[in-house]
Chain A
């Protein structure tokens, strides 16, 4: 062996190992309880925009719905992670090529890509979360699941404004995009409404619904950034924090744990269920019921009743809502609890117009 072969071998080995980039994982073959005909051949696929499926929040919620469907109908399910935006389109194409019967694209970011794919594969069923086309029925093979999270966030903002000890509450997002901004809009508007009702001056740091500017960490994965961002927010006075940033919010939990004070408003899936060890830090969760949405879509598609078009989850149809207070139930005054509960019918009936409280 010549001298030159040494480094060549080392480099070749490195390149070989590095070649294993993004990949897909599947889990199938669960015991079906009520297998109907072709259910065991039905494949539902979840396509992500990042690499963390178990984020205790956004990505995990849809996956929970698919897992429930797997349990109940005996279908097969699969997910695909992405390492960078350049993976998005190839992953969508691959999901179609692998024979997925239903493809869930989990993010606003997939809007244009799914539209393009849906046009070229008219017989493939797609579902996209957080994005709607106008008009919604221009792509009959795409079901668009969007959620009016500002309605539930309004309740959470009102609650936080009633619970703060410093007179300041805070919020930040992962990336600035409409579904993230919507949470923050509702949160600030709810706090403003509290100020109006009670004559207080609670401030929300990190978002201004009028100018649509505020605090963002830059992505949905950098938890260390979430932690330092939360520390800064708390140092500037906010004691209740709403992170709208997927797993970055776990950095907020870590910061609140270290500070030994304050509370977190979690998003998407009830924090006390996805992250029970940290339940005492979650004042409540602004729930976006993506799991039932995913389950329902699978069920309909499986039975041949796939419906394209738009579904909007609201307080009225139970698509959004706030979670129980769990560990905080005894700390939230009864009067505040009933005020927050009373907001729901008022929002549904239109008595309170949330966008008016910008």
Chain B
């Protein structure tokens, strides 16, 4: 089986495993969506029973899982009890917003982290390196939620950015340019929070990877025959140092998504975060499972993307399986 084929098979197995665990844990977890209805004397136990039967919750776990699996293969993730709509379109309408936020944050994070990591490694021990290291340590040690709340408070006080939601109330009356500006102003704060907390981690990883390669004997040998610093960096150091960084990209995508859920809740960004939080609090079973599956899909997709990039950039991987190295 090819490298990508193996990775794809592993990704599918992972998604099946996550879905199975989701069903198991939601079954074990105490309480259900209908618990509040039971407290209402105007709703009879028969009605609740009928509702449970309507959503298939009266069936054994394995049967429910098999039914869900079958429909999930046709992109049907079940029905939201609270919203009374199919889960997949509901999740997708929110996932688009989350994707916009995470993609923006991801691109900005890597655009900042890679040059900064390479620069600080190349100027190890210098003033910039020390400053970046110190700032990074501070950002890593402060919980993301504190950073988010602090920046939100600053944004509200200084009124520099739009806070809450994804667009202004009179968005529809704006011109196309004004709409873009409005969207960017709303996007800026949650994206900045995500960039700030992720950059601190990724700069460290990139710096460490580059430092490791810079100290490699083959880089010393290349220096010995007078390779310029630019060629040394772009021909020898970066292609090799890219491997761990690319692997990190996959995890970074998953990390940004899970981080964005919290940031979305704090900043009022209408993404998956607030939706999953509400679904979890109200025990909207299939919406919770669908939300988790979306997250898992992001993570698996990110890792697959990283694997494809590694395959494209590292000739050793394409030989994997055909050569005994």
Whether chains A and B associate is no
